[in-house]
Structure 1
Amino acid sequence: MAGAALRTSLRTNMRSIYQGWVIAATLNLLAEEGGYLVYPEHKYISFERSGKQKLGWIPPNVVMYVEGKGFLSLFIEAPRPIGWEDTQDLKRAWRFYTALRPDMLVYGGKVLNIVRLGQDPPIERPHMIIECKELEDWYVRVRDMRGPFAKPLTAEEWRSKWIQGLWDGLADILGVKRAEAVETVKEKKTLRLKEPQILTLYRKFYNPDVMVLVSRARVPENIVEELKENKIEVVDNIGYNRENLKELIEILLKIAKHTPGKISMEIDWETYAQFEKLRRMFRTSRERLLRKMIKLALKHKEELL
């Protein structure tokens, strides 16, 4: 028993380590593409989500701006339980979301909260989902998913379109109709799904524009084809070589989006006075002058160093 617990603990830790490496390597590669950290403002990135949604909202772990592309907002292992000031029905319904929690939700644009209370579904639809797999045989493993599905739903909960969509997705995976899926879950003590089925359930439930599986090891061709049939892209045989993540970076850059807004920059009064003197001399706007100065500095960077 102790040996089994130890092996499970090691697998869990290795999975977390690999997921953390994929995220760190991805951010590093985005930085090389001209990206920089926008959020959190203190510039310390947390790969955990514990306690981040106590105020009833779900903030990102990271927001990056990539030059010429736009913003990318990354939410690691979201959604999680949040603080509530809403109905008991919504509290109960939220258990589905906390049970179906992908490794990473990605949004194009600067997104600082994905909770959408009063909407159906109650979170913003992600533009991209990223799942990381560290084990070589991850695709043969099964997971017990019955927990959140086992409790009976109220009539009000059944009226929710996203709950109906969830059960439709589960029924499709099981190869039955929705009513039969409900009965199947009621009758069985467990609902065991293989990992590829769970990935497909994520895809059907969250309906992202893109979903990508990142695998440390090579994935068998038949599994790749199965996932592609369900609109899940596979980036495999990555190992711990960040250069192998370039395909993932290309996909991320395609979903990056610009978000309206500006930032403030602090400079001393004398520098500001000189800047204003230049602006009046050239009779131009501050933003246009600053852009021209940056362009000139980049052109003559060797002389400035």
Structure 2
Amino acid sequence: MKLNNTTISDIAERANVSKSTVSRVLNDKSIVNQRTRTTVLEAMESLGYEPNIFARSLASGRSMTVGVVTQKIGSPFYDTIMQGVIQGFSGTGYSPLFVDGQWEEGTELQVIQTVLGRKVDGLLLLGGDVSLSDLDQLRKRLPTIVIGKELPGWEGQCVYVDNRAAAYEATKHLIDFGHRDIALVRGIKHHQDAIRRYEGYADALADSGIELDPDLVIEGNFSAQSGILAVSSLLMRGKVFTAIFCANDMVAYGARLALQRSGIRVPEDVSIIGFDDQAESAFVTPPLTTVRQPGHEIGVAAAAGLLSLMRDEPCELPVMKAELQRRESVARI
């Protein structure tokens, strides 16, 4: 690799302008007229100059990085959102710095302090358990967007899916196919998504005149293993069920495996619905009926919202709509 030792003085000499003018162009100051700006940029290109990001951040007071706190790096759904975040910042000059909160409030606070120490210009928080009071303190320090949570007082700074409405639609789909004994495998108990999906499930049963059986509601943690354990629990207790609404697709994969091991066919004997619409869900056997969350679109919208905040512009983030993807894992009674 050949190092380029071009300096601002070299560029100024080539463009026949002052060093201060070159500096203003590098820092994107609007007071430089377009003709001069073009001349300086052409000089930079001809000399093969690549600006030092650290030096630019010292001059401009911006690091040109944003902190992104996710949960469980490697989770297919969260990774989809992060890909959207990457696309949203592409071409803006900002680079996202990703850290993992691992669904532990203490860990989240620790990694947030880490990215704050890097002098990031903004912060995206994906899910997590950071308290509202801590979040309120954070956004006093720097522009902050929360992904996947609905928070009081944060209108316009949250981007999330209406999980309650989506869960209602999924449960109603099972009811419309004649199912009455519908089990639910929940996500992490205190997690807002899990709570809203339970509420949608309960609302759909109530609106259809079906009494909710607490014994058909099994606690889970969004993992495939919790789907296996949930089905095993239902079968060991002799519970009658013809359908399972799972907290996410990972849970559905586990539930499907546990049913297969017990000689129970999907969907002939038991129907299954998941949530998220992971890429693999269309290709499992049978293809999984699930709720599609627009993860990529959520990431893009969150990045756009944070860019607006960092520019002191109005920020309006929409409530995203989830859509039921009807496939072969649900059969009519």
Report the TM-score when normalising by structure 2.
Answer: 0.28
Larger Rg: 2
TM-score by length of 1: 0.30
